[in-house]
Amino acid sequence: MKRFRNATQWGVYDVGVENGRVVDVKGIDEDPEVSDIGQVLLDGVQHSSRIQRPAIRKAWLEKSDRGRDRRGADEFYDVPWDEALEIAANELKRVANEHGNTAIFGGSYGWASAGRFHHAQSQLHRFINLMGGCTRAMNSYSTAAAQVILPHIIAPWPQMELQQTTLESVVTHTELFVAFGGLPSKNAQVAYGGVTEHRTGLDLARARQAGAEFVNISPIAGDIDSQLQPTWLAPIPGTDVALMLGMAYVLETEGLAASDFLQSHCVGYPKVKDYVLGTSDGVAKSPDWAASICGIDATDIEALARKMARKRTFLTAAWSLQRGDHGEQPYWMLCTLAAMLGQIGTPGGGFGFGYSAEAFVGTNYKRFNWATLPKGRNPTGFSIPVARIADMLLNPGATVDYDGREIVYPDTKLIYWAGGNPFHHHQDLNRLVKAWRKPDTVIVNEPWWTPVAQWADIVFPATTSLERTDICASSHDPYAHYMQQALPPQHDARSDHEIFAGLAGVLGFAEAFTENKSEREWLKDMWERSQTLAAQQGFHLPTFEEFESNGMYRLPEEPRVRDWMANFRENPERSQLQTPSGKLELYSATIAEFGYDDCPGQASWLEPLEWQETDRSRYPLHLLSPQPKRRLHSQYDQSKFSQDGKIAGREVLTMHPEAAADRQLKAGALVRVFNERGACLAGLSLDASQRKDTVTLPTGAWFKPSPEGGLEQNGNPNVLTRDKGTSSLAQGPSAHTCLVEVESAS
Ligand SMILES: Nc1nc2c(c(=O)[nH]1)N[C@H]1C(S)=C(S)[C@@H](COP(=O)(O)OP(=O)(O)OC[C@H]3O[C@@H](n4cnc5c(=O)[nH]c(N)nc54)[C@H](O)[C@@H]3O)O[C@H]1N2
Ligand SMILES: Nc1nc2c(c(=O)[nH]1)N[C@H]1C(S)=C(S)[C@@H](COP(=O)(O)OP(=O)(O)OC[C@H]3O[C@@H](n4cnc5c(=O)[nH]c(N)nc54)[C@H](O)[C@@H]3O)O[C@H]1N2
Ligand SMILES: [Mo]
C-alpha cells in the first residue's frame, strides 16, 4: 500500500492505495480531532456512479425544441471528447452571439472540492470571462442575509468572519455563553477550502472547564454537546427575534441597559427603545409578549436577561438563524442586544456569529490571503442574488429589489455549472424543475451522476482531487498542503482545467486560458505569487520545490491579542466602524430609506410568511433542514459511510416520540413528509430532546423524484422548503421557514 496526502473540506488525510484502489483513509497527526467524514473517500471516488465519458442528452440532440421538457428524465448518448467539446463550445458561442453574454448563467454556486488550482468554479469563471462573461451570482447560501445587512450596521462580513472574537478569548474570559441555534459540533468538521486542525470541540470544552456556563437556545437539545452541560431553552423555530426583544425589554425597564455605551458607540437606540417599550407601535415587547410567540416561559426570559447583565456574557447566533424568512432580523437584533449589554469590545464579552458553523470560526491563526488562479473580471459585471435563480429563470425581464436597488432578470438561454449542485442547495425543487426546463441548454462538469449531472444536456466527466495534483491553502487555515495525485484519472475523466482548455481551444483562445502552463507550472506560479505576498507582509515562504518535498507548510504564529472591537470600544471617534455613521447602527437611516416593509429601519419582529394559524393547522410541524453529520452537503452521499447513516435507505427524519405516537409512527418507519409544495420519503428516528412541533431532515440526499414526479424518493428536504428571499434587502435563501406534516408511508 502506498500513501498519498489529500486535503478535503473536512480535513487532511493520508489515503492508502493498493492495486489501483483506495483501501485506507487515515487522518494526519496534526489534526487533534479527525473527522470520520474522510471515510467517504474509501468507496466514493471509485464508485459505480462515476461519469465515464462525455455524454449528451438524447432529446437535446434530436428534437428541434431540444426536448427541454424531458430534461432530467431522459437518456444520454456517450460522445467522444472532441465532438462533445465542439458541440458545447459552438452552443456557448451561439448563445453569446444571438442573445448576449448575460443570457449565459455561469454563477455555478457550490463547494466543489478543496485545492486552489483545480477549484471548479474558478476554472469556469476564468474560462467564461475570457469569452465575454456571463450572469453571475452574488453572496452565498450560507450567509446571504448576514452578508448584506451587517455592512450597514457593523462591519463587512469577511472582516467579521475572520477577525471576530476568538474562542481563546472566550476560554479565558467568558462567564456566560449564550448560543442561539446552539453550537452543533457536526458542523465544525467542515471548512470551506480546507481545514487541518479541528479544535472547536476542544476549545469549547476548555471554556467549560474554565467555568463558562453555556445556554443552548435551540429547538434541538443536541445542538450543543452535552459535555458542556448546557441549560436548554427551546424556542419555536424562527422566533428568536421575539425572544431577544423580550430580553431587551427586561434590560430597558429594569435599568440594566448600558446607556453610556448605547450613547457613545451606537446610533438609533432611542428608536429601538420606543419599539421595545411599544411607544411607537402600541405593542410592549414584554417577556409575556415574547413568551406568547416563542414558547419560552416569561420567567425564563427574565431570568436569562438579568443574568446576562450580571455576567461577562458572549452572545452568538448560528448561521442557520439568518437562513429563514426575515433572516436579517435575528442578526441585527443580536447586535442590538449585545449593545444593550454594553460589553462589546471587552475580553470575552460582546457577540459573534457561527462559532462551530465551520471549523475556522473563532480560531486565532494568522490570516493570509494565498494567491489563487487568476480569474480576470466578468466583462458583463452582472450578478443576481444567488438564491434567486429559479425566479430569474421563470421571470425574464422582471425586477427584483436588492439592497436599495433594482435588478432586472435576464432571459437565460444557457446554464453552465461546475462544482455545485442546485438540486441540493436550492429551495422548492419542484419549482426549480420547472425553471430549469426553460433554457435551451445546460452544460455541467461533474465527477458523478449526481442530480445536477442528470439534469444537464451536455455532461463532461471531471476528475476528483485524488486524480490530480494541487495546493490546499486557505485564508483561515494556518497550513498549506501539497495534494498528491493518488489515482490516475478514472475512466475518461479530465480535470475541470483540461475541460475548459478544450473548450477554449475550439473557441480560439486556448493560449489565453492556459498561458501554455502545465498543471505543475500553474502550482509553481501560484506558490511564487504567494511568496511575493508573504514577503510584502514580512515573512518568508519556502521555495516551491521545498514545499513540494515537505508536503506541508505552517504559517508563523500571529495570535490576535486584542478583541476586534477593542479599539472601537476604547475610542469610537478615532477607531470608527465602516458603517455610514462610523458607529454601531441600531437604527439604519440607509435601510429605513429603502422603504422595505420586510426590512424596516431597526431590528423588528416580523411574522414569518409560513406561520399563520391556518398554515399550522394543515401542516403543524416546523421542518428544519440542517447540515448532515456524515458528509458535506450532497457530496459522497453515494458512499457507504453516508449510506450507513440512513434508515430504510432514506435520509433520517427526527421527531419527538409524542409527536410520533400522535401519528401512530414508530422508530425505523418509512414516512412521507409533505406540504403543499412537495413530498418526500424519509426513515424515522425519535428524539425526546427536541420540541414536539419541530422535525429535522438534514440536507444532502440526492434528489430523486418518482417517475410521475410526485414523491421524492431519497429524503431531500428541499422539495418541501419555500423559495422566497429573506427580504427585499438581501434576498437570501429562507429554507428554515417551512411547515410540514408527516404520515406513514408503508
Ligand atoms: N434546505 C436547506 N438547503 C440548503 C441549506 C440548508 O441549511 N437547508 N444550506 C445551504 C448551504 S449553507 C449551502 S453552502 C448549499 C451547498 O450546496 P452545494 O455547495 O451546491 O452542495 P455540494 O453537494 O457541496 O455540491 C458540490 C458539487 O460539486 C461536485 N464536485 C466536487 N468536486 C468537484 C470537482 O472537482 N469538479 C467538479 N466539476 N465538480 C465537483 C460534487 O459532486 C457536488 O455535486 O446548500 C444550501 N441548501
Ligand atoms: N458535517 C457538515 N458540516 C457542515 C456542512 C455539511 O454539509 N456537513 N455544511 C457547512 C456549511 S456550507 C455551512 S453554511 C454551515 C452551516 O452552519 P449552520 O447554519 O449553523 O448549520 P445548520 O445545521 O443549518 O443549523 C444549525 C442549527 O440551528 C438550529 N436552528 C435552525 N433554525 C433555528 C431557529 O430558527 N432558531 C434557533 N434558535 N435555532 C435554529 C437547528 O437546530 C440546527 O441544528 O455548516 C457547515 N458545516
Ligand atoms: Mo453553506
Q: Dump pLDDT digits (tens) for 353-406.
A: 999 999 999 999 999 999 999 999 999 999 999 999 999 999 999 999 999 999
Does ligand 2 lie within 6 Å of residue 180's CB atom? yes
Task: For the chain, give the percent of residues with pLDDT over 90.
Answer: 98
- Which pLDDT does position 668 carry in this prediction? 98
pLDDT at residue 155 greater than cutoff 90: yes
Residue to mutate (ligand 1; options 446, 448, 450, 497; most atoms within 8 A of CB): 446
Does ligand 1 lie within 6 Å of residue 701's CB atom? no
Domain parsing of the chain, residue ranges: 2-139+371-473+479-554, 160-362+563-594, 613-744
pLDDT at residue 431 greater than cutoff 90: yes
* 45 CA distance to ligand 2 middle (Å): 26
For residue 250, name the pLDDT band (cuts at 50, 70, 90): very high
pLDDT at residue 700 greater than cutoff 80: yes
CATH code for the structural domain at 2-139+371-473+479-554: 3.40.50.740
For residue 127, name the pLDDT band (cuts at 50, 70, 90): very high
Tell me the average pLDDT across 296-322: 98
Q: Comparing 36-50, 592-606, 612-626, which segment has the lowest mean pLDDT?
A: 612-626
The identity of residue 254, as a single letter, is E
The yes-or-no answer to whether 160-362+563-594 and 613-744 have a common fold is no
pLDDT at residue 639 greater than cutoff 80: yes
For residue 74, name the pLDDT band (cuts at 50, 70, 90): very high
Q: What are phi and psi of 247, to 5 degrees?
A: -70, -40
For residue 644, name the pLDDT band (cuts at 50, 70, 90): very high
Comparing 611 with 704, the larger pLDDT belongs to 704
Residue to mutate (ligand 1; options 186, 424, 622, 722; most atoms within 8 A of CB): 424
* 140 CA distance to ligand 3 middle (Å): 7
CB of 101 within 8 A of CB of 380? Answer: yes
Distance CA 58, CA 76 (A): 5
Does ligand 2 lie within 6 Å of residue 717's CB atom? no
pLDDT at residue 429 greater than cutoff 90: yes
Residue with cell 414569518: 608
Distance CA 143, CA 319 (A): 6
Does ligand 2 lie within 6 Å of residue 222's CB atom? no
Which atom, in ligand 1's list, is nearest to the CA of 448? 42
The model's pLDDT over 540-575, given as tens digits with 9 standing for 90+, comes to 999 999 999 999 999 999 999 899 999 999 999 999
CB of 205 within 8 A of CB of 242? Answer: no
Task: For the chain, give the percent of residues with pLDDT over 70.
Answer: 100
- Which pLDDT does position 27 carry in this prediction? 98
For residue 151, name the pLDDT band (cuts at 50, 70, 90): very high
Which residues lie below 8 Å from residue 96, measured CB to CB, with a gap of 6+? 103, 104, 131, 132
In this structure, the number of other CB atoms found within 10 A of the CB of residue 597 comes to: 8
pTM: 0.98
Distance CA 320, CA 661 (A): 29
- Which pLDDT does position 472 carry in this prediction? 98
Distance CA 629, CA 651 (A): 11
Tell me the average pLDDT across 451-469: 98
- Which pLDDT does position 350 carry in this prediction? 98
Does ligand 2 lie within 6 Å of residue 235's CB atom? yes
pLDDT at residue 614 greater than cutoff 80: no
Distance CA 44, CA 76 (A): 23
Closest to 344 measured CA to CA, from 568, 114, 43, 589: 568
Which atom, in ligand 1's list, is nearest to the CA of 721? 1
pLDDT at residue 612 greater than cutoff 80: no
Comparing 523 with 616, the larger pLDDT belongs to 523
The identity of residue 33, as a single letter, is E
Q: Which residue's alpha carbon is at the smallest distance from atom 28 of ligand 1?
A: 419
Rounded to the nearest integer, the mean pLDDT of the chain is 97
Which residues lie below 8 Å from residue 627, measured CB to CB, with a gap of 6+? 184, 186, 187, 190, 633, 698, 699, 700
Tell me the average pLDDT across 583-603: 98
The catalytic residues are: 109, 111
- CATH (one of 3.50.50.60, 3.30.470.20, 3.40.228.10, 3.40.50.10800) for 160-362+563-594: 3.40.228.10
Tell me the average pLDDT across 590-598: 98
Distance CA 363, CA 163 (A): 9
Does ligand 2 lie within 6 Å of residue 145's CB atom? no
Which residues lie below 8 Å from residue 64, measured CB to CB, with a gap of 6+? none
* 596 CA distance to ligand 2 middle (Å): 28
Which residues lie below 8 Å from residue 359, measured CB to CB, with a gap of 6+? 188, 189, 190, 191, 195, 198, 199, 200
CATH architecture group of domain 613-744: Beta Barrel (2.40)
pLDDT at residue 613 greater than cutoff 80: no
Which atom, in ligand 1's list, is nearest to the CA of 463? 35
For residue 235, name the pLDDT band (cuts at 50, 70, 90): very high
Report how far apart, in Å, the C-alpha atoms of 208 and of each of 184, 204, 317, 397, 625 are. Answer: 16, 6, 18, 55, 29
Does ligand 2 lie within 6 Å of residue 187's CB atom? yes
